Structure 1
Amino acid sequence: MFTDKQILRIPGPTPIPPRVQQAMNQPMMGHRSGKFSALFAKTAERLKPYFGTQQDVYIITGSGTSALEMGVVNTLAPGDEAAILVSGNFGERFAKICERYGVIAHRLEVPWGEAVTPELLDAFLKEKPQVKAVFATYCETSTGVQNPIAELAEVIRKQSDALFIVDAVSCLGAVPCEMDAWGVDIVVTGSQKAFMLPTGLAFLAASERAWSVIEQNKSLAFYLDLKAYRKSLKDQTTPYTPAVSLIFGLAEVLDILEEEGLPAIVKRHELMRDMTRAAMRALNIKLMAEDAYAATTVTSCDPQGAFDAEAMRKALTKHYNISIAGGQQHLKGKIFRIGHMGYCEPLDVLQVIAAIEMSLHQIGAPVELGAGVKAAQEVLIAHV
């Protein structure tokens, strides 16, 4: 076994394509040079289709959480009220950011593994007519749930003048997103998921409705002040030092994505989701999310005591150099999560399923070797 061959099947960071790694190895250039400015402006423009927007997309040197914080601090002031749709760990993160800035966070919570439905949101907003923003997570990484953003946006537009701000960190670039058509006001994402880059870049787009609020809001932010990014982008630059090498890589990523085409990318991720779910069912492992709300980028699985999830994960790493994720918060040690996004294809899914089966056998768990692989193969063959 090659010890340097680490196989990541976690929900991020995800594997980096070799040609992207090569692109990031280009010689450094001045971040205020005309050559870099042209590259930066063109790259930002090329991000628009993945957001489904005609608005500018801002590139921030920071993690996805920096863009989440940006969505809060630029639109709300201390004492403002917001509705936070919490279906897992990352919905709760939005609430914590709001509270750090003195925003009153009204949580609409559902059990982990369930989605926030339009009906629940409709009833909630009727009780909270004063909220100025609604925050939601598109793909809740901690549970493998994909919330119905288009339908939630429709409810908000009918019920409220509140802004709709969406965390799409763990799915944008792998799922449909029609920010303008759906009526979403801010969408944020990060570089280390479906965009196949190292951690270090965040992307954000804002609607005209959002900008009308941002321009009037006295932001508490300095580095995360969106108005500064808007002003700088007009000059094809950033207000603060950008991560130049990551921009080189992003330009190459966009080449790769454009070569495949967004419709094909979405179908590939849906296929990998369906293969993974079929395999888990064949192995009698409970899936946390129901089919209607199953994320296309990560699958969360609950052994329900049939075997030790952590022991299986450790065997997977020890024997096969494959990493999958564990549970978070109260699910730590109880579940496991398989990432299938970005630089990942159906044959990679067969690999991780086969290795999971063998790891289960090695820890003494009841498993029918080949059952999960066969189920996934059948899904793949039907697709081909």
Structure 2
Amino acid sequence: MNRQILLTPGPTPIPPESLQAESLPIIHHRTAEFVELFNETQENLKYVFQTREKVFTLMSSGTGGMECAVVNLVSPGDKVIVTACGVFGERWVKILNVFGANVVALRTEWGVTVKAAELEKALKDHPDAKAVFTTLTDTSTATACDILGYGKAVSKTPAILVVDAISGLAGQEMYMDEWQVDAVITASQKGLMTAPGLGFISVSPKGWAAVQASKSPRFYWDLRAIEKSSHDGETPFTPAVSLIRAVNASLKLIRKKGLPQVFQQARDLAKFTREEGGKLGLGLFAKDPCDVLTAFVLPEGVNGGALIKQIVKKTGISMAGGQEKLKGRIVRIAHMGYIQKADIEKGIRALSENLAEMRAAAARP
């Protein structure tokens, strides 16, 4: 049986230290031992977010964190701007519409980021906008957004900047405070090298004013209650104790390595992946590619879904296909977190062999 290798952009491989931490005997969450763990995790999260603000732990997927951001930062009827260059920019639009926001969507061709100048113009055209929602890296298209440029544009206005960094944090360069980002959301199963189940959100003082002003209904996601409990090193409701242990172990590894080295590793693996894919004649889908994963455009006649199923069946290597209108058209390979160069080498070899088989089959009369 082939050893399973995850080259998917979430879940990603988990380091032994994190697996070991998650397997420890459970402890009660209202004890001094848990408070110590929770507070240590908080400090390690601040380092990865690059913020002085608290980072709140949510028992959810990344999408739960996105909804948490919306209900805490936006009231029904508020005008908001969304930059959308893929599925996850559109997810912001969907969530905001559900909660009654007045959405102004800045849409581009998928794979092309909205330029900071375009956002700046939209802010001038809509001076009553309360917030800008965007993505650090849109996983569906492997596209990077200009968060530094967005921060400069939004900081000149009363609006707040909200960033989905679910696939990008601890891989794609971003510094929450320095880049003037008002809210950052992420999840445990990507760059943080932990099993799915935890979401995280941090909010700036400017963003916190929006939390206090929001009239959206909220109970489980109420950041005011979550913040109050955090003073005692606790959560308002039962936390995922074992996952918090695990993510803290992974965060320690990130701190030990150092964020500059983490960012450089992602860039190096991105370069290697793209060079190797280029040798197979595969071009990039994204015009503004990110560092944490690569989307390759597949040749005519090759179905991406069938290709990915064949690769995992034959080799145990998992890759990701396209979503929505890109289904069957692209293959996505992650190079974030605990993914190693040797894993990508095996993945590219499997891609090469199975592509050749499919091309040959398609060429037969």
Shorter-chain-normalised TM-score: which range? over 0.9
Aligned length: 361
Residue 183 (structure 2) pairs with residue 186 (structure 1): yes
- Structure with the larger RCO, 1 or 2 (CA within 8 Å, 6+ apart): 2
Distance, in Å, in 1 between the alignment partners of 2:124 and 2:52 is: 31
Distance, in Å, in 2 between the alignment partners of 1:58 and 1:96 is: 24
Instruction: Give the letter aligned to residue 236 of structure 1.
Output: G
Does the Cα contact within 8 Å between 1:315 and 1:363 map onto a contact in 2?
A: no
Deviations 1:86-114 (A, max 9, x none): 11000011111111111111100001111
Deviates more, 1:122-131 or 1:223-232: 122-131
Does the Cα contact within 8 Å between 1:74 and 1:217 map onto a contact in 2?
A: yes
Runs (4+) of structure 1 exceeding 4 A deviation are none
Deviations 1:31-56 (A, max 9, x none): 11111011101111111121111001
Residue 239 (structure 2) pairs with residue 236 (structure 1): no
Which residue matches 1:205? Answer: 202
How far apart are residue 365 of structure 1 and its match? 4.6
SS in 2 for 1:94: helix
Which residue matches 2:150? Answer: 152
Matches within 5 A, 1:40-79: 40-79=38-77
Which residue matches 1:338? Answer: 333
Which residue matches 1:320? Answer: 315
Residue 289 (structure 2) pairs with residue 294 (structure 1): yes
Which residue matches 1:273? Answer: 270
SS in 1 for 2:332: strand
Pick closer, same or farther for the CA change 1:126–1:309 going to 2, 3 Å. Answer: same
Matches within 5 A, 1:1-384: 1-2=1-2, 5-158=3-156, 160-290=157-287, 293-305=288-300, 307-365=302-360
SS in 2 for 1:363: helix
How far apart are residue 334 of structure 1 and its match? 1.3
Pick closer, same or farther for the CA change 1:365–1:255 going to 2, 3 Å. Answer: farther
Instruction: Give the letter aligned to residue 333 of structure 2.
Output: I
How far apart are residue 170 of structure 1 and its match? 0.2
How far apart are residue 304 of structure 1 and its match? 4.5
Q: Percent identity?
A: 38
Instruction: Give the letter aligned to residue 292 of structure 2.
Output: T
SS in 2 for 1:31: coil
How far apart are residue 173 of structure 1 and its match? 1.1
Distance, in Å, in 2 between the alignment partners of 1:254 and 1:328 is: 30
Deviations 1:240-259 (A, max 9, x none): 11000001101211221122
Q: With structure 1 as the length reference, what TM-score do the two structures score?
A: 0.91
Structure 1 residues without counterparts, runs of 5 or longer: 367-384
Structure 2 residues without counterparts, runs of 5 or longer: none
Instruction: Give the letter aligned to residue 88 of structure 1.
Output: G
Distance, in Å, in 2 between the alignment partners of 1:213 and 1:115 is: 27
Deviates more, 1:251-260 or 1:326-335: 251-260
Does the Cα contact within 8 Å between 2:108 and 2:114 map onto a contact in 1?
A: yes
Instruction: Give the letter aligned to residue 359 of structure 1.
Output: N
Does the Cα contact within 8 Å between 2:44 and 2:255 map onto a contact in 1?
A: no
Distance, in Å, in 2 between the alignment partners of 1:308 and 1:29 is: 48
SS in 2 for 1:337: strand
SS in 2 for 1:20: helix
How far apart are residue 19 of structure 1 and its match? 2.2
- Once superposed, what is the RMSD of the aligned Cα atoms? 1.4
Instruction: Give the letter aligned to residue 6 of structure 1.
Output: Q
Deviates more, 1:28-37 or 1:122-131: 122-131
